Structure 1
């Protein structure tokens, strides 16, 4: 990415920023059985933009959260694939379902924080509505 493109690009959230938002989410006392981490992820310019990962307690899948596209404020969730069938007890599936709700809540929280941060940064132009 050229210097000019970076200057005119929307702000990117750093790994440190995402870690602070995840800590804020966890401080709100969400009941999280698994673990949430922000893994290193470099963008085209070599900056560490981070990748939010929720590892459920009762499943081997990882749930990745990130903005849908570079210039898109909407976040999405990706679940890692499984090579084998997933067999769970009734209690484990209920726990996994609860963790999916937590993942959805976290992804919504990150999207809201991103929109708020974009607005406050002054670097993302306001879009006019018709």
Structure 2
């Protein structure tokens, strides 16, 4: 069943960053699939919040992705400038998710082809 490897996701995130000029802190970490496959998990750190965001396909082989907000024990308190910064970060995250979904349509890893 097709999936996106960590290497593929790193390439896509790099291409997104190069094209968009944003998201330089976004990274891909190892996430072992249920069958031991090298799947990746996209992490979007937020400078203006105490939460972290991760992105992954809804299911292996699906083009749809889901975004998870992981709560932290600290409360996020922002001023208006910081809130605008967080809104910009969330906009980049939304664009990245849409980009990953578009790249996932019909994608097959070399071993899956």
- Which residue number in structure 1 is paired with residue 9 of structure 2? 18
Matched, 1:42 2:32: yes
Question: Is the contact made by 1:14 and 1:49 (CA closer than 8 Å) also made in structure 2?
Answer: yes
Q: How does 1:70-109 map to 2 (within 5 A)?
A: 70-109=60-99
Separation in structure 2 between the aligned mates of residue 84 and residue 17 of structure 1, nearest angstrom = 34
Separation in structure 1 between the aligned mates of residue 52 and residue 89 of structure 2, nearest angstrom = 11
Separation in structure 2 between the aligned mates of residue 110 and residue 66 of structure 1, nearest angstrom = 9
TM-fit CA distance, 1:102: 0.3
Separation in structure 1 between the aligned mates of residue 60 and residue 20 of structure 2, nearest angstrom = 30
- Which residue number in structure 2 is paired with residue 31 of structure 1? 22
Q: TM-score, normalised by structure 1?
A: 0.77
TM-fit CA distance, 1:52: 0.4
TM-fit CA distance, 1:17: 0.4
TM-fit CA distance, 1:84: 3.4
Unaligned 5+ segments in structure 2 are none
Match of 2:50 among 53, 60, 65: 60
TM-fit CA distance, 1:12: 1.0
SS in 2 for 1:49: strand
Question: Is the contact made by 1:38 and 1:51 (CA closer than 8 Å) also made in structure 2?
Answer: yes
Which structure is higher in RCO with an 8 Å CA cutoff and minimum separation 6? 2
